[in-house]
Amino acid sequence: METERSQNAILCVDDEAIILITLQKELKKQLGNLFQYETALNAEEAMEVIDDLVGAGVNVILILSDWLMPGIKGDEFLILVHRKYPKIRSILITGHVDAAAVDRVKKEAGTYTVIPKPWDVNKLMEAVRVCCNLN
């Protein structure tokens, strides 16, 4: 019998590996085995991960994405994901805020919120819980 964990995933996307490790550890600490926690270092890799997970029958619930990354920026990536997989929720985490990008990602990708780096763990986890319907 498969566990609930294998059915639902949260994907973290950032070009800095240390950020991914930190996010993944915090999510596991706060949410335990409720989800599969996946990571990607850029938008292209993230899209492959999403396609692979969805193809394997895993429900990608949430994407936590950085904004300023080489290649495709976080807002563009989340808009592309939303067009292909409209049910996946998203949170943008960034140390660099472009107001136009924030407005665009909220409108075009339905992004729940934008969290500044360095993030406040309580605010981040509150947003994650809302997006994953854990409140």
Written as six digits, the tokens of 6 are: 């294998």
**Residue 28 domain-assigned?**
yes
Entry pTM: 0.93
What is the extent of the structural domain holding 107?
A: 8-132
Q: Tell me, what amino acid is at 31?
A: L
**Residue 61 domain-assigned?**
yes
**Residue 104 domain-assigned?**
yes
Per-residue confidence band for 90, with pLDDT thresholds at 50, 70 and 90: very high
The per-residue pLDDT for range 100-128, each reduced to its tens digit, is: 989 999 999 999 999 999 999 999 999 99
Is 41 in contact with 14 (CB distance < 8 Å)?
yes
Nearest to 116 by CA among 131, 96, 90: 96
**Residue 102 domain-assigned?**
yes
Q: Domain containing 38 — which CATH number? A: 3.40.50.2300
What's the confidence (pLDDT) of residue 3? 43
Supply the mean pLDDT for the chain. Answer: 93
What's the confidence (pLDDT) of residue 1? 36
The domain tally of the chain equals 1
What's the confidence (pLDDT) of residue 2? 42
The per-residue pLDDT for range 24-78, each reduced to its tens digit, is: 999 999 999 999 999 999 999 999 999 999 999 999 999 999 999 999 999 999 9
